[in-house]
Amino acid sequence: MPLKIPICNFDAKTGILCTRCEQKLKSGQITEADVSVSRALVQLAETNQELNKISLLKSYAVDGDYVLEVDQHGLATFRNNEKLKTMLEEKLSARVWIVSSSNSERRYLEDLFFPTRVLAVNTVWLPDGAKLTKVIVPFRKMRNTNDIERIKRIVRETRGIELMVENERDARFRRS
Ligand SMILES: [Zn+2]
């Protein structure tokens, strides 16, 4: 089974889009991020056979980072071999985030926070009616602040989620 990507494999290999893919790009059905990521994946798949079994469904570019929406098998492939993500980051000269294709907001957040465990996801309504999504993570296991800011930007741009991150200890303190 070949690698499944949003553009033709041939286009990804040559770097030139066929008229059909060009049209998809113009109409916004696919993005420049899809093209860049597909090209990088196809190149990596030549020497990393396991990539030939994954499906890339969509990619987003957010502030210089790439978010790749892949199938379940793809998620497992990247998690089982951390080197694959590092190689992809080198090829794209960018930070790469791998998420599984899912409509679940919680699942999306869990994938972005991985390997940090998401303990709870709550909706918080502010007095002005604005909605916030609060993620609670274990104390001391929190990703660094820079990562959290990146995750916040990613979810805002890709899903319109305003995120708030709290660690377990502070969350408990607030409740009592
Ligand atoms: Zn094509």
Residues within 5 Å of ion ligand 1, judged at the Cβ atom = 8, 11, 18, 21
Domains and CATH numbers, the chain: 1-101 (3.30.300), 105-176 (3.30.300.20)
What's the pLDDT score for residue 175?
61
Q: Which H or E run includes 21?
A: helix 19-26
Q: What is the pTM of this model?
A: 0.91
- Residue 4 is given by DSSP the state B
Residue stretches of the chain with pLDDT short of 50: none
The answer to whether residues 131 and 124 touch, using CB atoms and an 8 Å cutoff, is: yes
DSSP one-letter code for 144 = P
Span from the CA of 63 to the centroid of ligand 1 (angstroms): 27
Per-residue model confidence as pLDDT tens digits over 69-118: 999 999 999 999 999 999 999 999 999 999 999 889 999 999 999 999 99
For residues 113 and 165, the answer to whether their CB atoms sit within 8 Å is no
Give residue 103's pLDDT. 86
How many whole angstroms from 49 Cα to the centroid of ligand 1?
22
